[in-house]
Structure 1
Amino acid sequence: MNIDVPRILIAATQSGAGKTTIVSGLLAALRARGLKVCGYKVGPDYIDPGYHRLAGGEPVYNLDTWLTDEQTLLNLFARTSQGADVAVVEGVMGLYDGGAGGVSSSAQIARLLGLPVALVLDAKSMGESAAAVALGFRDYDRRTDLRGVILNRLGSDSHRELVSSALERIGIPVLGALHRDEMLAVRERQMGLLPAEENGDRETVSRMRAAVERGLDLEVLLEAARSAPRLSVPSLPAPARRAARLRVGVARDPAFSFYYPESLSALEERGAELVFFSPLRDSAVPEVDRLVFGGGFPEVFAGELAANLGMKASIRAAAASGVLILAECGGFMYLTKTLRTLEGSVFEMVGLIEAHSAMNARLQTVGYVEAEALKDTVLCPAGTVLQGHEFRFSTVEPEAPERFPWAFQITRKRTGATSLGGCAAPGLLASYLHLNLLGNPACADWFLGIASDASDV
């Protein structure tokens, strides 16, 4: 298998420089030219890919060397980019930012996939100093194939000329420039950008496209993308499949929207039939053998979730009948007894977990973690060490911490700090841990009962 698709990475000097706006606009502009585009996001983020999917019209995949090993990531990119005319990758934070030691930084992914890099530089309130910043990024690690910069949030044509001239003197090309435009700003909430599903109609992406078509040299960017080297990638063996099809119910609506498409595909490749349902709108869960509740924003829809008494009762009934349940982050909160919003309102949730969840004004944790299973769970046997990510403003407080069925010993990669986390009750695993099952194939096997009979845990 080969990676020979034209491809480019849109990175930035820091978070908030305008990567998502530019990548979304670029995907939409290239699609309008009749090109088949595929989008990717470096790191574990769920929200940015929603805008890329809206703009490009195709699934968007995460590229993260902590959640998946390098060989699996290369194989994912090779498979999902086949047949595309161009692949556009959005970076994470600043170009060289990632986990401890630069794991899963944009620069690391660029080197791994042979990606030429265009650097978005927020030039607001800067003149020639912008050139000094670009020079530092170019020279910090010459292994990074930096092709030029995209200037963003310029105040005027003269501002553009000032910065462009300084960059020209040091030999760094300007690939495009966008002026300040508040209409391009994407609304935010605590955890970052407002999801595309909640941000209204397609007008936001249309404005992004128009700005990119005015300000960026698309032909130069495509020329850079076409210069990416051809890479040979060994194929991975196909996973084992269940002899009998298993139905897996997946909660998916505006309250629960955080899923990696490749993670869901890992279940389908093993013979699972995914059945999507809405805890917000549906009256009951479908007839299934497993239930999955992903992350999202249950606190935003807490009143509606609480009012759907039929859905909550059906989840409790499913658990009592032996349906195995896996929940992440927002799904974890939903399965507790109550959820307290930031405004102080308390809503009754499903009540499968003897604990209460609450939103906080301050960030509680963010970053890569290792999670060691303290007992057999529906996802893995005791002693398994999983690599995942946490990002939350909420807490889950057990009613009786000394008797609570803790699931994991959590170790934070950046600090080494440890704590207990998650809930592993019979037939249920719920935690703040975000996993990618593509990078944890044994967990996908275990959850579906391929490697072992998970119905015993």
Structure 2
Amino acid sequence: MYIPRFVVAGTHSGVGKTTVSLGLMAALRRRGLSVQPFKVGPDYIDPGLHRVAAGCYSHNLDSWLCPEPELKTTFARYCAGAQVAVVEGVMGLYDGMRYQGELASTAQISKITGTPVVLVVSARGVGRSLAAMVKGYLEFDPKVNMIGVVVNQAGSRSHAELLRHSIEEELGVPVLGVLARHGQLEIPGRHLGLMPASEMPGLPGRLEQLAGIVDEEIDIDRLLSLAGKAPPLDCELPGCDPVVRDVTIAVAMDEAFNFYYQDSLHYLKELGAGLVYFSPLNDTALPQPVNGIILGGGFPEVFLPRLSANRAMRTELKSMARRGVPIYAECGGFMYLCSDIYGMDGISYPGVGLVPGTVKMQNSLSALGYVTGKLQKNCLLGRAGDLIKGHEFHWSTVSGLSPGHAAYSLQGGRGQDGRRDGYTLGNLFASYVHIHWRGNPGAARNFLLACAKYKAGGR
């Protein structure tokens, strides 16, 4: 299969990868092209922004969460039918899992998928020296196919011309565009990163402005010509045999809970699950019939007054748990299921109460990074000793939980190896760890089989 494609990479975080990526997606879509977006790494917010810009779901490409064969087929599966693929990188081009070389880096994803790289560099406070920086990125790994540079945040027209001349004449690398400083188009953020698309009603208009700027300041025709020289995708698209039939999973989805890898949900469908959605913020009851529940991550701490005021939903979830419905929750969902939640204002709000712990928001990160979790007991996701890969990123802590009910013993991330995380009891499994179901097929199958067992009348 063949598709023109490129990766938008950066020298470091904050250089403007997301702005350039969104602008290019929107500009290409405005030209009438079918654009398939992707995001490198364990990110939830950027794919939501991509969806608005490109008009279709964006998918994560993470070589640590998912093995290379699954990653390649995922990429090919979602590229099918599109006219161009745009991959937004993560952090700097060569940044990946700590002390593991290129693992999980944008550079590695570029090589696995055969996708050429456009490097975004910042022009702030630099002149000809920028060419030296680009030279370093160009030569650090010659196997990375860098097809061009986009210079961001140029101070003036003469500044832009100096940078263009230095890079093109001294390195022979095409400068595909030089963007001026457009501060009014920056995407607003909060403590976990950028603001989610669901909370920015003016986002479509902002992206339309950005598309116009990118169309004017980046040579898109030249970019498409270079992207069109990418090699064919070399992989097969295997089928997936269902493990359950007619099993319905209710998935929390609203402004407070929307951190899901889209391909992870698709994988549950491939295994035979039907997905329905509900809002812990707005709904008073779950869709029926339901054979399992998933509460993903998000920003429950931003919506604590509304979540706590919706007593009907909190009562409904407790009732479903008592009936034996399998419930899986991660990060924000884990927080919501706790007994009490202290927000960033220090005020305590009641949670659902299925997890007998107290959550407290902190003023800085509590944990960040990839982790491997060893299941501490037979539970909803597998048997004691099974290993599960995941990622954690949160500003809160939980206290008051018994170590005997811990979900995992963790390795990696911030903190000491062997630390306990989460809570599991009977039909409930909740923790801070975000997992990708396709990258943890055993856990996915165990969860769905538990849902099928509940439907058949077992607890």
- What is the TM-score when the length of structure 1 is the normalising length? 0.96
3-state SS in 2 of match to 1:29? helix
**In the alignment, which residue of structure 2 is the partner of 1:107?**
107
* Cα offset, 1:454, TM superposition: 8.0
**In the alignment, which residue of structure 2 is the partner of 1:123?**
123
**In the alignment, which residue of structure 1 is the partner of 2:140?**
140
CA offset digits 1:394-435 (Å, max 9, x no partner): 11112x545x51010000068873310011111000001111
Larger helix share, 1 or 2: 2
- The match for 2:43 among 36, 40, 45 is 45
Alignment of 1:205-220 (within 5 A): 205-220=207-222
Instruction: Give, in whole Å, the separation in 1 of the partners of 2:430 and 2:206.
Output: 35
3-state SS in 2 of match to 1:231? coil
CA offset digits 1:373-392 (Å, max 9, x no partner): 01112122221101111111
* 1:121 partner letter: V
Is the Cα–Cα contact under 8 Å of residues 48 and 196 in structure 2 kept in the other structure? yes
* Cα offset, 1:338, TM superposition: 1.0
Instruction: Give, in whole Å, the separation in 1 of the partners of 2:121 and 2:151.
Output: 5
3-state SS in 1 of match to 2:198? coil
Instruction: Give, in whole Å, the separation in 1 of the partners of 2:367 and 2:165.
Output: 42
* Cα offset, 1:204, TM superposition: 2.0
Alignment of 1:192-341 (within 5 A): 192-201=193-202, 202-242=204-244, 244-287=245-288, 288-341=290-343
Runs of 4+ aligned residues of structure 1 deviating over 2 Å after TM superposition are: 234-237, 413-418, 450-457
Instruction: Give, in whole Å, the separation in 2 of the partners of 1:298 and 1:452.
Output: 29
Instruction: Give, in whole Å, the separation in 1 of the partners of 2:414 and 2:148.
Output: 31
Q: CA RMSD in A?
A: 1.7
- Listed as ranges, the gaps of 5+ residues in structure 1 are none
* Cα offset, 1:266, TM superposition: 1.1
CA offset digits 1:179-204 (Å, max 9, x no partner): 11111111111111111111222122
Judged with a 3 Å threshold, the aligned counterparts in structure 2 of structure 1 residues 8 and 257 are, in CA distance, closer, same or farther, namely same
Is the Cα–Cα contact under 8 Å of residues 291 and 452 in structure 2 kept in the other structure? no
CA offset digits 1:272-323 (Å, max 9, x no partner): 1111000001011222110000000000000000000000000000000111
* Cα offset, 1:225, TM superposition: 1.2
Instruction: Give, in whole Å, the separation in 1 of the partners of 2:389 and 2:222.
Output: 39
Deviates more, 1:198-207 or 1:325-334: 198-207
CA offset digits 1:245-267 (Å, max 9, x no partner): 01100000000000111111111
Instruction: Give, in whole Å, the separation in 2 of the partners of 1:417 and 1:137.
Output: 34
Judged with a 3 Å threshold, the aligned counterparts in structure 2 of structure 1 residues 233 and 222 are, in CA distance, closer, same or farther, namely same
Instruction: Give, in whole Å, the separation in 2 of the partners of 1:451 and 1:418.
Output: 30
Instruction: Give, in whole Å, the separation in 2 of the partners of 1:351 and 1:450.
Output: 22
* 2:238 partner letter: L
**In the alignment, which residue of structure 1 is the partner of 2:95?**
97
Alignment of 1:54-93 (within 5 A): 54-93=52-91
3-state SS in 2 of match to 1:357? strand
Is the Cα–Cα contact under 8 Å of residues 24 and 55 in structure 1 kept in the other structure? yes
Judged with a 3 Å threshold, the aligned counterparts in structure 2 of structure 1 residues 247 and 411 are, in CA distance, closer, same or farther, namely same
3-state SS in 2 of match to 1:232? coil
- What is the TM-score when the length of structure 2 is the normalising length? 0.95
Is the Cα–Cα contact under 8 Å of residues 380 and 450 in structure 2 kept in the other structure? no
Instruction: Give, in whole Å, the separation in 2 of the partners of 1:405 and 1:157.
Output: 62
Instruction: Give, in whole Å, the separation in 1 of the partners of 2:282 and 2:201.
Output: 19
Judged with a 3 Å threshold, the aligned counterparts in structure 2 of structure 1 residues 414 and 328 are, in CA distance, closer, same or farther, namely closer
**In the alignment, which residue of structure 2 is the partner of 1:175?**
176
**1:153 correspondence with 2:132:** no
* 2:103 partner letter: V
**In the alignment, which residue of structure 1 is the partner of 2:421?**
421
* Cα offset, 1:172, TM superposition: 1.9
- The match for 1:351 among 337, 350, 353 is 353
**In the alignment, which residue of structure 2 is the partner of 1:443?**
443
* Cα offset, 1:450, TM superposition: 7.6
